[in-house]
Amino acid sequence: MKVGDKRRERGLFGLGSDDDSLLFFFLLLVLLFNDGSWFKKGDDALLFFFLLLVIFFTNGYYY
């Protein structure tokens, strides 16, 4: 098996399991539908979402 093959097998955004994918979509729904009670509206929510995307997109490249 080549080194790159393992990365391709990791699935959605480089995640390894269905549980991780469900967690990602749950967090996405929370960010889309939150009313600002978990964190302030605006920049904090956008920054949090951007950091999540960076983590999930780069996760598969370190294995």
Q: Give pLDDT tens digits for 16-43.
A: 555 566 677 777 777 777 665 655 556 6
> Which residue type does 53 have?
L
* Alpha-carbon separation of residue 61 from 11, 42, 47 (angstroms): 12, 30, 22
Confidence check: pLDDT of 52 > 50: yes
57 against 20, higher pLDDT: 57
- Dihedral (Cα; 5, 7, 8, 10), 10-degree rounding: 130
Rounded to the nearest 5°, which phi and psi values hold at 17?
Answer: -140, 165
Cα 28 from Cα 38, distance rounded (Å): 14
Q: Are 61 and 7 in contact (CB under 8 A)?
A: yes
Taking the domains of the chain in order of start, what are their residue ranges? 3-62
